[in-house]
Amino acid sequence: MQTPFSWLSPDLQGNVLIALSVLSLTLMKMLSEIGRDLTIRNEHIPFGIINLEFPWTEERAASIVKVWSGRGLVGKAVQQTELDFILLLLYPAALSLAGTMVVSSGDGPLAAAVSFFSWAVLLCTPLDAFENLMILRMLSGSSASPVPQLTTISAGLKFLLVASSVVSMLSMLALKALR
């Protein structure tokens, strides 16, 4: 089945996947360190920047930004979001390539699903970029509708694509292991 990385020789696929994965995980660790202070449980911000990815309402978005602003943390949120523009180029490619490798020796409906999600997960790049732009807008004080709703929808679609991609790959690997 054709996937975005079918053109890459099987010999290179593993090396490229390792490189993309290491870069993604390293950047995720850096983002986690930068955003550590954004998690403020007693202010109802238990997941840091993720809370601003899913604000849904103007009030929720404004309250998160107000808390961070009062603690001098908006700069960290901006820094974390700006660095995420690099990550959004890496993790979708890594997931897509992983899908290519998983589906390479399979067929049937599950292989078709993995192939589909190896393409679909690439939509995470524009979804995440749009989400980041909306987050930066909220961090600059513009959290009027429809910004929080668009941010939430973009983030939700992004996470749904990531989860669907991972679940389809794990299902196919489990099926292969049972055979």
What is the rounded CA–CA span in Å between residue 7 and residue 58? 45
Give the chain's mean pLDDT.
96
Here the tokens at position 118 are: 């190896």
Residue 152 neighbours by CB distance under 10 Å: 21
Q: Tell me the DSSP string of 59-105.
A: HHHHHHHHHHHHTT-HHHHHHHHHHHHHHHHHHHHHHHHHHHHHHTT
Burial (CB < 10 A; 0-12, 13-18, 19+), residue 40, is middle
pLDDT digits (tens, 9 = 90+) for 79-130: 999 999 999 999 999 999 999 999 987 788 999 999 999 999 999 999 999 9
Task: Give 1's pLDDT tier (boundaries 50, 70, 90).
Answer: confident
CB 53 within 8 A of CB 131: yes
pLDDT at 69 over 90: yes
Which structure tokens are listed for 20?
């993309």
Give the pLDDT confidence of 141-177 residue by residue, as tens digits. 999 999 999 999 999 999 999 999 999 999 999 998 8
Report the C-alpha dihedral over residues 119, 17, 15, 101, rounded to 10 degrees: -50
pLDDT in tens, 36-62: 999 999 999 999 999 999 999 999 999
pLDDT for the residue 105: 76
Residue 53's pLDDT is 98
